[in-house]
């Protein structure tokens, strides 16, 4: 008996075997740098920025607290960054610094500017006031001696001071309208001398340190050097 062979047509579809993993249907998006950061990283950054802000604020406060007061002096003196200070320890009070800007000389509680240019008494006062000062007012014998010694060293003979005769009435007053104290007058011998000389200078003779050196001059004609004055500034330390 003849055996029959049956052929069956078997067709295989192209595709992955069941053992192989299936490919993803879509492409994956890579994580950004910030998405890879630890969860606590933003808090660290915020804390650092806050600390930096606090430090900057403290520095600004310290600088403003220790800086000189605004409006102390005008004109070119405001541009000065140098201060000359003396340490004071008032009885019963905290120590403090008594300061003048670097362009000024200090004596007691005043700062002085000794001019290098010459002008009439009226213009001299105007120059002082442009700088936020005024012509010097002499309140004590010690101040007169200080000014005499300082001007003597400058080799300049005459300096305008802030004393004038009121309208030729022989009523001498300082620029703040304070009357001249009879106990604090330092006229040279035979001065004041002329009715038409209503302004005062310190007349420093060469080689002389006499404290009595005031001399009356014409306010609008004679040109001399001049001394300006202002109060010192005090700063706590």
DSSP string, 95-150: -EEEEEETTSEEETTEEEEE-SS-B-HHHHHHHHHHTT-EE----SHHHHHHHHHH
* Token pair belonging to 29: 């998006």
Q: What is the pLDDT of residue 94?
A: 83
Task: Look at phi and psi of residue 59 and say left if phi exceeds 0, alpha if psi is from -120 to 50, else beta.
Answer: alpha
Mean pLDDT lowest among 15-29, 75-89, 191-205, 213-227: 15-29
Using alpha carbons only, what angle is made at residue 23 by residues 19 and 29, rounded to the nearest 5 degrees?
145
Neighbouring residues of 30: CB distance < 8 A, sequence distance ≥ 6: none
pLDDT band at residue 29 using 50, 70 and 90 as cut-offs: low
Which of the given ranges, 66-75, 161-170, 194-203, has the highest pLDDT on average? Answer: 194-203
Query: pLDDT of 42-52, one tens digit each?
Result: 777 777 788 88
Mean pLDDT lowest among 1-15, 17-31, 213-227: 1-15
Mean pLDDT of 182-200: 89
Report all structural domains of the chain as residue ranges with CATH numbers, in order of start.
113-228 (3.10.100.10)
Record the pTM: 0.63
Neighbouring residues of 86: CB distance < 8 A, sequence distance ≥ 6: 97, 98, 99, 106
């Amino acid at each position: 008996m003849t055996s029959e062979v049956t052929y069956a047509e078997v067709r295989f579809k192209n595709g992955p075997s069941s053992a192989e993993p299936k490919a993803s249907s879509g492409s994956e998006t890579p994580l950004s740098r910030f998405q890879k950061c630890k969860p606590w990283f933003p808090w660290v950054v915020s804390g650092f920025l806050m600390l930096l802000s606090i430090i900057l604020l403290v520095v600004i406060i310290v600088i403003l607290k220790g800086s000189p007061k605004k409006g102390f002096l005008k004109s070119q003196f405001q541009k000065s960054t140098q201060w000359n200070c003396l340490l004071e320890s008032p009885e019963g009070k905290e120590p403090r610094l008594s300061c003048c800007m670097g362009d000024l000389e200090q004596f007691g509680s005043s700062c002085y500017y000794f001019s290098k240019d010459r002008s009439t008494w009226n213009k001299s006062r105007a120059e002082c006031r442009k700088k936020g000062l005024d012509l010097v007012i002499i309140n004590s014998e010690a101040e007169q001696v200080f000014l005499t010694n300082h001007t003597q060293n400058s080799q300049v003979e005459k300096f305008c001071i802030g004393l004038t005769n009121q309208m030729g009435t022989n009523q001498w007053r300082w620029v703040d309208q304070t009357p001249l104290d009879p106990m604090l007058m330092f006229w040279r011998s035979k001065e004041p001398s002329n009715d038409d000389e209503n302004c005062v200078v310190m007349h420093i003779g060469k080689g002389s340190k006499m404290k009595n050196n005031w001399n009356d001059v014409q306010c609008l004609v004679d040109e001399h050097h001049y001394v300006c004055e202002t109060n010192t500034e005090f700063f706590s330390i």
